[in-house]
């Protein structure tokens, strides 16, 4: 019979938490693929290319620069789909500047919210988050 150990004992098996800007080969690959799709796309369908660059750029910003929490990424994605749906289907117009401008406002609000959280571990976190060490080393809080 196997005993189930408490979750605290699994902390040693987890990767250590990191902070600041991060960039990997995978990230570089995603950016290269997105660029290879978007650049030729400008000659075929410029609107599609702007969507690719806008969404991949935000993914990079959220995951690598500010490293925001996943539920905030989902809020961003949901509001983006909502903005596009409203403009395309209800208003039957698609002013790119307005849609991207509204979404940029959502981006700023979400990043601002995340930067104020005790879990913030993105760029400039050492100067912005006084609780950073508690986040990076949760095992020390016991």
pLDDT digits 0-9 by tens, 21-34: 999 999 999 999 99
Structure tokens at 128: 């912005």
pLDDT digits 0-9 by tens, 71-108: 999 999 999 999 888 888 887 777 888 889 999 999 99
Contacts of 96 (CB under 8 A, 6+ apart): 47, 50
Residue of 68, 73, 95, 69 whose CA lies nearest to 84: 95
Q: In the predicted model, what is the mean pLDDT of residues 5-24? A: 72
Query: From the DSSP assignment, how many helices (H) and strands (E) are in the chain?
Result: 6, 0
Rounded Cα distance, 81 and 68, in Å: 19
């Amino acid at each position: 019979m196997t005993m189930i150990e408490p979750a605290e004992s699994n902390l040693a098996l987890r990767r250590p938490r990191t902070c600041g800007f991060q960039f990997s080969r995978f990230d570089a690959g995603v950016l290269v693929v997105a660029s290879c799709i978007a650049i030729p796309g400008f000659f075929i369908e410029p609107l599609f290319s702007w969507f690719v660059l806008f969404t991949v750029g935000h993914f990079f910003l959220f995951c690598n620069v500010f490293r925001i929490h996943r539920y905030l990424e989902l809020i961003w994605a949901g509001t983006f789909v909502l903005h596009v749906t409203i403009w395309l289907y209800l208003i039957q117009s698609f002013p790119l500047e307005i849609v991207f401008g509204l979404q940029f406002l959502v981006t700023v609000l979400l990043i601002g919210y995340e930067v104020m959280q005790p879990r913030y571990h993105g760029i400039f976190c050492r100067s912005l988050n006084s609780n950073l060490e508690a986040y990076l080393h949760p095992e020390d809080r016991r």
